[in-house]
Amino acid sequence: MRIEIIRCLRDNYSYLIIDENNINACVVDPGESTPIVKFIENNNIKLKYILNTHHHYDHIGGNLELKKRYNSKIVAFEGDKDRIPEIDIFVHDNQTWKADSFEAKIFHTPGHTSGHILFHFFNEKKIFTGDTLFSLGCGRIFEGTSEQMFNSLCKIKKLPKETEIYCGHEYTLQNSNFCIQHDPENLILKKKIINIKKKLENNLPTIPTILGEEIDSNIFLKANNIETFSKLRDLKDNF
Ligand code: ZN
Ligand code: FE
């Protein structure tokens, strides 16, 4: 299983999960179709599934064009059936979704939106976190409470430390400025920032990031109670 990172729109990431044995693929959160189509045509892969973490347009904008072109199936949260058009396969919290050689556990993680889900490809130790968890940050709370978002992040924290995190946006540098302001002595964070800058200077994504590293450097994962978390989230909204 190989992951290709595809840049979409201004700062979104979409991902192709490719089974190298049979060229079947899933796409996660195609914000637009053009860059995905380009990759598929150049690499001769079969787009079988479209996985959506949530209903925001920058994550589903390419859905219908891709579905039409490749006859792919849209996989999304059952609770979002009225706001993600043309879902083919409905999934729910704690379900293991399995199709062809793809196998992922679904986590319902309300907070950013009420229907947000994560896809955890546990065999490969990779998780697609949409706008719930970013590198050195977390999503804005649009539809939920800070308590919900805190609990959603706690679900991620319980996964194996070596899990690779693939999130929905390239917000890492911006997020690092907030983290270092609130955690100025953190050596792991400082080292990570040097690394982030190097990658961005070379026009490389800062993604994936590793869960263990995030737990040590992401101020929102370091928060160990709702009050601290909620205060940080408020501060970040006005940062
Ligand atoms: Zn969003
Ligand atoms: Fe987004």
Q: Is 29 a catalytic residue?
A: no
Residue 39: phi, psi to the nearest 5?
-65, -45
Q: Is 183 a catalytic residue?
A: no
pLDDT digits (tens, 9 = 90+) for 39-61: 999 999 999 999 999 999 999 99
pLDDT band, residue 238 (cuts 50/70/90): very high
- Neighbouring residues of the ion ligand 1, judged by CB less than 5 Å: 56, 131
What is the structure's pLDDT at 153?
98
Beta bridge partners of 120: 105, 127
What is the structure's pLDDT at 103?
98
pLDDT digits (tens, 9 = 90+) for 62-119: 999 999 999 999 999 999 999 999 999 999 999 999 999 999 999 999 999 999 999 9
Across the range 124-148, mean pLDDT stands at 98
Q: What's the gap in Å between 131 CA and the centre of ligand 1?
A: 5
Domain spans, the chain: 2-237
Give, for 69, the enclosing helix (H) or strand (E).
helix 63-70
Strands across the sheet with 117-121, in order?
A: 96-99, 102-108, 117-121, 126-130, 164-167, 209-210
Fold of 2-237: Metallo-beta-lactamase; Chain A (3.60.15)
pLDDT digits (tens, 9 = 90+) for 183-234: 999 999 999 999 999 999 999 999 999 999 999 999 999 999 999 999 999 9
Q: Please identify which of the residues 54, 55, 108, 120 carries the catalytic annotation.
A: 54
What is the structure's pLDDT at 43?
96
Q: Is 56 a catalytic residue?
A: yes
Beta bridge partners of 2: 18
Q: What's the gap in Å between 130 CA and the centre of ligand 2?
A: 7
3-state SS class at 103: strand
pLDDT digits (tens, 9 = 90+) for 12-22: 999 999 999 99
Q: Is 58 a catalytic residue?
A: yes
Across the range 134-145, mean pLDDT stands at 97
Q: Is 55 a catalytic residue?
A: no
pLDDT digits (tens, 9 = 90+) for 157-192: 999 999 999 999 999 999 999 999 999 999 999 999
Mean pLDDT (the chain) is 98
